[in-house]
A = this chain, B = another copy of it.
Amino acid sequence: MNTADLGLPVAVPSTALFTDHYELTMVQAALRGGTAHRRSAFEVFARRLPEGRRYGVVAGTGRVLDAVENFRFEPEILRFLGERGVVDEPTLAWLADYRFRGDIKGYPEGEVYFPGSPIMRVEGSFAECVLLETVILSILNHDSAVAAAASRMAVAAGDRPLIEMGARRTHELSAVAAARAAYVGGFSSTSDLAAGFRYGIPTVGTSAHSFTLLHDTERDAFTAQVESMGAGTTLLVDTYDVAEAVRTAVEVAGPGLGAVRIDSGDLLLLAHRVRQQLDELGARDTRIVVTSDLDEYAIASLAVAPVDAYGVGTQLVTGSGHPTAAMVYKLVARADSDAPDAPLRPVAKKSMGGKLSVGGVKWAARRPDADGMAEAEVVGTGEVPEELAAHQLLVDLVRGGEVVARERLEAARERHVRARDGLPLSATQLSRGEPVLPTEYVSG
Protein backbone atom coordinates (compact mmCIF):
# COMPACT_ATOMS: atom_id res chain seq x y z
CA MET A 1 0.00 0.00 0.00
CA ASN A 2 1.56 3.25 -1.06
CA THR A 3 -0.98 5.73 0.20
CA ALA A 4 -0.59 7.91 3.23
CA ASP A 5 -2.88 7.32 6.11
CA LEU A 6 -3.49 10.74 7.57
CA GLY A 7 -6.86 10.13 9.09
CA LEU A 8 -8.38 11.61 6.00
CA PRO A 9 -11.57 10.56 4.33
CA VAL A 10 -9.25 9.40 1.56
CA ALA A 11 -5.63 8.46 1.35
CA VAL A 12 -3.00 10.72 -0.18
CA PRO A 13 0.10 9.41 -1.87
CA SER A 14 2.93 10.61 0.32
CA THR A 15 4.02 11.93 3.67
CA ALA A 16 7.42 13.00 2.34
CA LEU A 17 6.67 16.72 2.32
CA PHE A 18 5.82 16.81 6.03
CA THR A 19 9.50 17.42 6.43
CA ASP A 20 11.73 20.32 7.36
CA HIS A 21 13.82 21.79 4.57
CA TYR A 22 17.05 21.11 6.47
CA GLU A 23 16.56 17.35 6.55
CA LEU A 24 16.99 17.37 2.78
CA THR A 25 19.96 19.72 2.69
CA MET A 26 21.68 17.54 5.29
CA VAL A 27 21.13 14.54 3.05
CA GLN A 28 22.62 16.45 0.12
CA ALA A 29 25.72 17.47 2.07
CA ALA A 30 26.17 13.98 3.52
CA LEU A 31 25.77 12.33 0.11
CA ARG A 32 28.38 14.61 -1.34
CA GLY A 33 30.69 14.25 1.66
CA GLY A 34 30.44 10.46 1.74
CA THR A 35 28.89 10.19 5.20
CA ALA A 36 25.25 9.68 4.19
CA HIS A 37 25.42 5.91 4.46
CA ARG A 38 27.03 5.65 7.88
CA ARG A 39 24.82 3.41 9.98
CA SER A 40 23.07 5.59 12.54
CA ALA A 41 20.62 5.39 15.41
CA PHE A 42 18.24 8.19 16.27
CA GLU A 43 16.14 8.16 19.43
CA VAL A 44 12.92 9.94 20.31
CA PHE A 45 12.62 11.02 23.92
CA ALA A 46 11.28 13.84 26.07
CA ARG A 47 13.69 15.61 28.37
CA ARG A 48 10.84 16.38 30.75
CA LEU A 49 7.13 15.92 31.24
CA PRO A 50 4.88 18.97 31.18
CA GLU A 51 5.20 20.71 34.51
CA GLY A 52 3.42 18.87 37.30
CA ARG A 53 2.45 15.84 35.21
CA ARG A 54 3.07 12.42 36.71
CA TYR A 55 3.40 10.36 33.53
CA GLY A 56 3.29 10.71 29.76
CA VAL A 57 1.29 8.58 27.31
CA VAL A 58 2.75 7.32 24.04
CA ALA A 59 0.26 7.86 21.23
CA GLY A 60 0.49 8.11 17.47
CA THR A 61 2.72 5.06 17.00
CA GLY A 62 0.29 3.51 14.53
CA ARG A 63 0.17 6.75 12.57
CA VAL A 64 3.97 6.88 12.53
CA LEU A 65 4.08 3.42 10.95
CA ASP A 66 1.74 4.55 8.20
CA ALA A 67 3.73 7.74 7.65
CA VAL A 68 7.01 5.83 7.36
CA GLU A 69 5.52 3.33 4.96
CA ASN A 70 4.24 6.11 2.74
CA PHE A 71 7.25 8.35 2.84
CA ARG A 72 8.04 8.49 -0.89
CA PHE A 73 9.17 11.28 -3.11
CA GLU A 74 6.61 11.30 -5.90
CA PRO A 75 7.53 12.94 -9.23
CA GLU A 76 5.44 16.00 -8.39
CA ILE A 77 7.36 16.44 -5.15
CA LEU A 78 10.73 15.95 -6.81
CA ARG A 79 9.80 18.55 -9.41
CA PHE A 80 8.97 21.03 -6.67
CA LEU A 81 12.23 20.36 -4.82
CA GLY A 82 14.20 20.77 -8.01
CA GLU A 83 12.47 23.93 -9.19
CA ARG A 84 12.87 25.55 -5.80
CA GLY A 85 16.51 24.53 -5.63
CA VAL A 86 16.01 22.83 -2.28
CA VAL A 87 18.52 20.12 -3.22
CA ASP A 88 20.76 19.28 -6.18
CA GLU A 89 20.27 16.70 -8.94
CA PRO A 90 22.22 13.82 -7.32
CA THR A 91 20.11 14.24 -4.18
CA LEU A 92 16.89 14.28 -6.19
CA ALA A 93 17.97 11.03 -7.83
CA TRP A 94 18.61 9.49 -4.42
CA LEU A 95 15.28 10.73 -3.09
CA ALA A 96 13.43 9.28 -6.07
CA ASP A 97 14.44 5.80 -4.90
CA TYR A 98 13.91 6.54 -1.23
CA ARG A 99 12.14 4.03 0.87
CA PHE A 100 12.92 3.47 4.53
CA ARG A 101 14.67 0.09 4.76
CA GLY A 102 15.89 0.30 8.34
CA ASP A 103 14.54 -0.79 11.72
CA ILE A 104 12.32 0.95 14.21
CA LYS A 105 11.77 -0.13 17.78
CA GLY A 106 9.66 1.71 20.27
CA TYR A 107 7.37 1.80 23.25
CA PRO A 108 4.09 0.32 22.03
CA GLU A 109 1.20 2.72 21.68
CA GLY A 110 -0.70 3.41 24.90
CA GLU A 111 2.36 2.72 27.07
CA VAL A 112 3.32 5.38 29.62
CA TYR A 113 6.68 7.16 29.54
CA PHE A 114 8.93 9.33 31.68
CA PRO A 115 11.74 11.85 31.13
CA GLY A 116 14.45 10.16 29.10
CA SER A 117 12.38 7.12 28.11
CA PRO A 118 13.66 6.06 24.64
CA ILE A 119 10.18 6.15 23.17
CA MET A 120 11.30 5.26 19.67
CA ARG A 121 14.59 4.28 18.02
CA VAL A 122 15.15 4.56 14.28
CA GLU A 123 18.15 2.72 12.83
CA GLY A 124 19.52 2.68 9.32
CA SER A 125 21.78 4.89 7.25
CA PHE A 126 22.07 8.51 8.40
CA ALA A 127 20.30 9.76 5.29
CA GLU A 128 17.35 7.40 5.47
CA CYS A 129 16.80 8.06 9.18
CA VAL A 130 17.31 11.81 9.33
CA LEU A 131 14.58 12.34 6.73
CA LEU A 132 11.94 10.91 9.06
CA GLU A 133 12.63 13.29 11.93
CA THR A 134 9.97 15.92 11.28
CA VAL A 135 7.00 13.70 10.52
CA ILE A 136 7.74 11.30 13.38
CA LEU A 137 7.98 14.16 15.87
CA SER A 138 4.88 15.90 14.51
CA ILE A 139 2.81 12.79 15.04
CA LEU A 140 4.18 11.72 18.42
CA ASN A 141 4.28 15.22 19.90
CA HIS A 142 0.71 15.97 18.95
CA ASP A 143 -0.92 12.66 19.64
CA SER A 144 0.92 12.01 22.91
CA ALA A 145 -0.03 15.45 24.24
CA VAL A 146 -3.71 14.75 23.61
CA ALA A 147 -3.54 11.20 24.97
CA ALA A 148 -1.90 12.41 28.19
CA ALA A 149 -4.71 14.89 28.77
CA ALA A 150 -7.28 12.22 27.89
CA SER A 151 -5.77 9.81 30.39
CA ARG A 152 -6.01 12.31 33.23
CA MET A 153 -9.61 13.07 32.30
CA ALA A 154 -10.40 9.36 32.18
CA VAL A 155 -8.99 8.96 35.68
CA ALA A 156 -11.09 11.89 36.88
CA ALA A 157 -14.22 10.52 35.21
CA GLY A 158 -13.91 7.04 36.73
CA ASP A 159 -16.53 4.76 35.21
CA ARG A 160 -18.44 7.54 33.50
CA PRO A 161 -17.92 7.72 29.73
CA LEU A 162 -16.09 10.60 28.09
CA ILE A 163 -17.07 12.00 24.70
CA GLU A 164 -14.44 13.77 22.60
CA MET A 165 -15.96 16.86 20.99
CA GLY A 166 -13.09 19.22 20.31
CA ALA A 167 -13.00 19.16 16.51
CA ARG A 168 -14.03 22.79 16.21
CA ARG A 169 -11.25 23.93 18.51
CA THR A 170 -8.32 22.57 16.53
CA HIS A 171 -7.15 22.12 12.95
CA GLU A 172 -9.56 19.87 11.04
CA LEU A 173 -6.98 17.09 10.62
CA SER A 174 -5.55 17.46 14.11
CA ALA A 175 -9.11 16.85 15.21
CA VAL A 176 -9.12 13.41 13.62
CA ALA A 177 -5.80 12.48 15.22
CA ALA A 178 -6.97 13.97 18.52
CA ALA A 179 -10.08 11.80 18.53
CA ARG A 180 -7.85 8.79 17.93
CA ALA A 181 -5.42 9.77 20.71
CA ALA A 182 -8.30 10.47 23.08
CA TYR A 183 -9.63 7.01 22.41
CA VAL A 184 -6.23 5.54 23.26
CA GLY A 185 -6.23 7.61 26.46
CA GLY A 186 -9.64 6.36 27.60
CA PHE A 187 -12.38 8.30 25.85
CA SER A 188 -15.36 6.26 24.62
CA SER A 189 -16.59 8.16 21.60
CA THR A 190 -16.15 11.25 19.47
CA SER A 191 -18.26 13.85 17.71
CA ASP A 192 -15.89 13.82 14.74
CA LEU A 193 -17.27 11.92 11.74
CA ALA A 194 -13.88 11.67 10.03
CA ALA A 195 -12.52 9.87 13.10
CA GLY A 196 -15.42 7.45 12.90
CA PHE A 197 -14.85 6.92 9.23
CA ARG A 198 -11.10 6.47 9.44
CA TYR A 199 -10.61 4.73 12.77
CA GLY A 200 -13.96 3.18 13.52
CA ILE A 201 -14.31 5.18 16.73
CA PRO A 202 -17.98 5.40 17.78
CA THR A 203 -19.45 8.80 16.87
CA VAL A 204 -22.23 10.49 18.79
CA GLY A 205 -24.26 13.69 18.82
CA THR A 206 -27.83 14.90 18.60
CA SER A 207 -28.39 18.67 18.55
CA ALA A 208 -27.06 22.15 19.34
CA HIS A 209 -28.68 25.35 20.56
CA SER A 210 -29.18 26.43 16.97
CA PHE A 211 -31.66 23.60 16.52
CA THR A 212 -33.80 24.88 19.38
CA LEU A 213 -33.50 28.46 18.13
CA LEU A 214 -34.57 27.38 14.64
CA HIS A 215 -37.98 26.45 16.02
CA ASP A 216 -40.74 28.78 17.18
CA THR A 217 -40.79 27.12 20.60
CA GLU A 218 -38.53 24.79 22.53
CA ARG A 219 -41.41 22.29 22.53
CA ASP A 220 -41.46 22.34 18.73
CA ALA A 221 -37.74 21.65 18.66
CA PHE A 222 -37.94 18.76 21.15
CA THR A 223 -40.91 17.30 19.29
CA ALA A 224 -39.09 17.45 15.95
CA GLN A 225 -36.02 15.82 17.47
CA VAL A 226 -37.91 13.03 19.23
CA GLU A 227 -40.00 12.31 16.14
CA SER A 228 -36.83 12.01 14.10
CA MET A 229 -34.51 10.29 16.53
CA GLY A 230 -36.81 8.56 19.00
CA ALA A 231 -37.29 9.03 22.74
CA GLY A 232 -33.84 7.59 23.40
CA THR A 233 -32.23 10.78 22.08
CA THR A 234 -30.42 13.42 24.11
CA LEU A 235 -32.25 16.75 24.41
CA LEU A 236 -30.30 19.95 25.04
CA VAL A 237 -32.00 21.73 27.93
CA ASP A 238 -30.13 24.98 28.53
CA THR A 239 -31.20 27.20 25.64
CA TYR A 240 -33.73 29.13 27.75
CA ASP A 241 -34.80 27.95 31.22
CA VAL A 242 -33.41 24.59 32.29
CA ALA A 243 -36.25 23.55 34.63
CA GLU A 244 -38.89 24.39 32.05
CA ALA A 245 -36.90 22.59 29.35
CA VAL A 246 -36.60 19.44 31.45
CA ARG A 247 -40.36 19.45 32.09
CA THR A 248 -41.08 19.94 28.39
CA ALA A 249 -38.52 17.29 27.43
CA VAL A 250 -40.16 14.61 29.57
CA GLU A 251 -43.62 15.66 28.39
CA VAL A 252 -42.55 15.34 24.77
CA ALA A 253 -40.38 12.21 25.00
CA GLY A 254 -41.98 10.50 27.96
CA PRO A 255 -40.11 9.05 30.94
CA GLY A 256 -38.11 6.91 28.50
CA LEU A 257 -36.16 9.98 27.39
CA GLY A 258 -32.56 8.91 26.80
CA ALA A 259 -30.66 11.86 28.19
CA VAL A 260 -30.58 15.58 28.71
CA ARG A 261 -27.53 17.68 28.01
CA ILE A 262 -26.46 20.75 29.97
CA ASP A 263 -23.92 22.98 28.20
CA SER A 264 -23.67 26.07 30.42
CA GLY A 265 -24.14 27.33 33.94
CA ASP A 266 -23.13 25.88 37.30
CA LEU A 267 -23.01 22.23 36.31
CA LEU A 268 -22.70 20.88 39.85
CA LEU A 269 -25.82 22.71 40.99
CA LEU A 270 -27.75 22.11 37.78
CA ALA A 271 -26.98 18.40 37.68
CA HIS A 272 -28.40 17.91 41.15
CA ARG A 273 -31.51 19.95 40.36
CA VAL A 274 -32.10 18.29 37.03
CA ARG A 275 -31.60 14.82 38.51
CA GLN A 276 -34.16 15.55 41.20
CA GLN A 277 -36.59 16.97 38.67
CA LEU A 278 -36.16 14.02 36.31
CA ASP A 279 -36.71 11.56 39.16
CA GLU A 280 -39.84 13.41 40.26
CA LEU A 281 -41.11 13.27 36.67
CA GLY A 282 -40.55 9.51 36.65
CA ALA A 283 -37.64 9.72 34.23
CA ARG A 284 -35.32 7.82 36.56
CA ASP A 285 -33.30 6.27 33.74
CA THR A 286 -32.84 9.48 31.81
CA ARG A 287 -29.15 10.27 31.87
CA ILE A 288 -27.47 13.64 32.35
CA VAL A 289 -24.67 14.66 30.01
CA VAL A 290 -22.61 17.77 30.77
CA THR A 291 -20.41 19.55 28.21
CA SER A 292 -19.32 23.05 29.17
CA ASP A 293 -15.57 23.83 28.93
CA LEU A 294 -14.56 20.81 30.99
CA ASP A 295 -11.05 19.79 31.93
CA GLU A 296 -9.82 17.07 34.29
CA TYR A 297 -10.30 19.31 37.33
CA ALA A 298 -13.87 20.23 36.43
CA ILE A 299 -14.61 16.58 35.75
CA ALA A 300 -13.18 15.59 39.13
CA SER A 301 -15.24 18.29 40.85
CA LEU A 302 -18.37 16.76 39.32
CA ALA A 303 -17.65 13.31 40.74
CA VAL A 304 -20.19 13.94 43.50
CA ALA A 305 -22.81 15.18 41.03
CA PRO A 306 -25.38 12.91 39.39
CA VAL A 307 -23.72 13.14 35.99
CA ASP A 308 -23.73 10.18 33.60
CA ALA A 309 -21.32 11.32 30.88
CA TYR A 310 -18.93 14.15 30.08
CA GLY A 311 -18.30 15.81 26.75
CA VAL A 312 -14.89 17.46 26.48
CA GLY A 313 -13.64 19.74 23.74
CA THR A 314 -11.08 22.54 23.97
CA GLN A 315 -9.06 21.29 26.90
CA LEU A 316 -8.73 17.82 25.44
CA VAL A 317 -7.55 18.75 21.97
CA THR A 318 -5.14 21.34 23.35
CA GLY A 319 -3.59 18.88 25.80
CA SER A 320 -5.08 20.60 28.85
CA GLY A 321 -2.51 23.35 28.91
CA HIS A 322 0.24 21.35 27.19
CA PRO A 323 -0.54 21.06 23.47
CA THR A 324 2.76 19.46 22.53
CA ALA A 325 4.81 16.75 24.19
CA ALA A 326 8.31 18.24 23.74
CA MET A 327 9.78 15.06 22.29
CA VAL A 328 13.02 15.36 20.34
CA TYR A 329 14.73 13.11 17.77
CA LYS A 330 18.44 12.87 18.37
CA LEU A 331 21.33 11.05 16.76
CA VAL A 332 22.68 8.91 19.61
CA ALA A 333 25.12 6.65 17.78
CA ARG A 334 26.66 6.24 14.34
CA ALA A 335 29.38 4.30 12.58
CA ASP A 336 32.75 5.83 11.69
CA SER A 337 32.48 4.62 8.11
CA ASP A 338 29.87 3.21 5.80
CA ALA A 339 31.25 -0.32 6.04
CA PRO A 340 28.23 -2.53 6.86
CA ASP A 341 29.96 -4.02 9.92
CA ALA A 342 31.32 -0.76 11.32
CA PRO A 343 30.31 -0.57 14.97
CA LEU A 344 28.02 2.20 16.24
CA ARG A 345 29.74 4.79 18.37
CA PRO A 346 27.78 6.88 20.92
CA VAL A 347 27.49 10.58 20.10
CA ALA A 348 25.84 13.48 21.90
CA LYS A 349 25.67 17.24 21.71
CA LYS A 350 27.50 18.95 24.53
CA SER A 351 25.08 19.82 27.30
CA MET A 352 24.32 23.53 27.41
CA GLY A 353 21.49 25.42 28.97
CA GLY A 354 20.45 22.33 30.86
CA LYS A 355 19.62 20.24 27.80
CA LEU A 356 20.48 16.67 28.75
CA SER A 357 21.51 14.37 25.92
CA VAL A 358 22.83 10.90 26.64
CA GLY A 359 24.66 9.20 23.79
CA GLY A 360 24.44 5.55 22.83
CA VAL A 361 21.73 3.13 21.78
CA LYS A 362 19.47 2.55 24.77
CA TRP A 363 17.28 -0.13 26.18
CA ALA A 364 14.56 0.60 28.73
CA ALA A 365 12.82 -1.46 31.36
CA ARG A 366 10.28 -0.69 34.04
CA ARG A 367 11.54 -2.24 37.24
CA PRO A 368 8.85 -3.68 39.51
CA ASP A 369 9.07 -3.67 43.28
CA ALA A 370 8.39 -6.74 45.44
CA ASP A 371 4.62 -6.27 44.99
CA GLY A 372 4.88 -6.04 41.22
CA MET A 373 4.24 -2.30 41.07
CA ALA A 374 6.58 -0.23 38.94
CA GLU A 375 9.24 1.56 40.96
CA ALA A 376 11.67 2.93 38.35
CA GLU A 377 12.11 3.56 34.65
CA VAL A 378 15.55 2.15 33.95
CA VAL A 379 17.29 3.37 30.81
CA GLY A 380 20.62 1.93 29.86
CA THR A 381 23.27 1.31 27.25
CA GLY A 382 25.03 -2.01 26.72
CA GLU A 383 23.77 -5.30 28.10
CA VAL A 384 20.35 -5.48 29.74
CA PRO A 385 20.74 -6.73 33.34
CA GLU A 386 19.24 -10.20 33.63
CA GLU A 387 16.70 -9.21 36.28
CA LEU A 388 15.28 -6.58 33.91
CA ALA A 389 15.20 -8.70 30.76
CA ALA A 390 11.54 -9.59 31.21
CA HIS A 391 10.54 -5.99 31.87
CA GLN A 392 11.83 -4.34 28.72
CA LEU A 393 9.70 -1.73 27.05
CA LEU A 394 10.85 -1.44 23.44
CA VAL A 395 9.25 -3.69 20.87
CA ASP A 396 9.92 -4.18 17.17
CA LEU A 397 7.84 -1.86 15.01
CA VAL A 398 9.62 -1.95 11.65
CA ARG A 399 12.20 -4.51 10.49
CA GLY A 400 14.13 -3.97 7.28
CA GLY A 401 11.56 -1.39 6.22
CA GLU A 402 8.59 -3.68 6.81
CA VAL A 403 6.00 -2.73 9.41
CA VAL A 404 5.70 -5.63 11.84
CA ALA A 405 3.53 -4.19 14.59
CA ARG A 406 0.16 -3.21 13.22
CA GLU A 407 -2.58 -3.55 15.78
CA ARG A 408 -6.16 -2.55 16.40
CA LEU A 409 -6.66 0.78 18.17
CA GLU A 410 -8.39 -1.11 20.98
CA ALA A 411 -5.12 -2.89 21.74
CA ALA A 412 -3.43 0.44 22.46
CA ARG A 413 -6.40 1.58 24.52
CA GLU A 414 -6.31 -1.57 26.63
CA ARG A 415 -2.54 -1.40 26.98
CA HIS A 416 -2.81 2.10 28.36
CA VAL A 417 -5.15 1.02 31.14
CA ARG A 418 -2.79 -1.82 32.09
CA ALA A 419 0.26 0.46 32.00
CA ARG A 420 -1.39 3.09 34.16
CA ASP A 421 -2.67 0.46 36.57
CA GLY A 422 0.90 -0.78 37.00
CA LEU A 423 2.11 2.60 38.28
CA PRO A 424 2.21 3.64 41.93
CA LEU A 425 -1.16 4.90 43.14
CA SER A 426 -0.05 8.51 43.23
CA ALA A 427 0.30 8.42 39.43
CA THR A 428 -3.33 9.35 39.10
CA GLN A 429 -3.40 12.31 41.44
CA LEU A 430 -4.46 15.37 39.50
CA SER A 431 -2.43 17.78 41.59
CA ARG A 432 1.01 18.77 40.41
CA GLY A 433 3.91 16.54 41.26
CA GLU A 434 7.11 14.99 40.02
CA PRO A 435 7.11 12.12 37.51
CA VAL A 436 5.73 9.18 39.48
CA LEU A 437 8.70 7.00 38.51
CA PRO A 438 12.32 8.17 38.66
CA THR A 439 14.39 7.57 35.55
CA GLU A 440 17.61 5.71 36.37
CA TYR A 441 20.46 5.63 33.87
CA VAL A 442 22.66 2.56 33.71
CA SER A 443 25.67 2.48 31.43
CA GLY A 444 26.80 -0.94 30.32
Which residues does A use to contact B, with CB under 8 Å? 6, 8-10, 12-26, 28-30, 32-33, 35, 38, 40, 42, 67, 74, 76-77, 80-81, 84, 86, 88, 126, 130, 133-135, 137-139, 141-143, 165, 167-177, 191-194, 196-197, 203-211, 213-216, 220, 223-225, 227-229, 238-241, 264-266, 292, 314, 317-318, 323-324, 326, 329-331, 334, 336, 347-350, 352-353, 355
Once the chains are docked, how many angstroms separate the CA of A12 from the CA of B211? 30
Query: Is B240 in contact with A203, judged by CB distance below 8 angstroms?
Result: no
User: What residues on B are CB-neighbors of A197 within 8 Å?
Assistant: 17, 77, 80
Query: Contacting A353 at CB < 8 Å: which of B137, B220, B265, B317?
Result: B265
- Nearest Cβ in chain B — how far from A171, in angstroms? 4
Once the chains are docked, how many angstroms separate the CA of A350 from the CA of B205? 22
Query: Contacting A30 at CB < 8 Å: which of B22, B211, B265, B329?
Result: B211
Query: Is B173 in contact with A29, judged by CB distance below 8 angstroms?
Result: no
Once the chains are docked, how many angstroms separate the CA of A30 from the CA of B86? 53
With contacts A40-B214, A192-B20 taken as known, whether A168 is within 8 angstroms of B138 at the C-beta atoms is yes
**What are 24 A-B residue pairs whose CB atoms fall within 8 Å in the complex?**
A8-B12, A9-B13, A18-B194, A21-B203, A25-B228, A26-B210, A29-B228, A30-B211, A33-B227, A40-B214, A77-B197, A126-B214, A141-B170, A169-B326, A171-B173, A171-B174, A213-B331, A214-B331, A214-B334, A238-B349, A239-B350, A264-B352, A265-B352, A318-B323
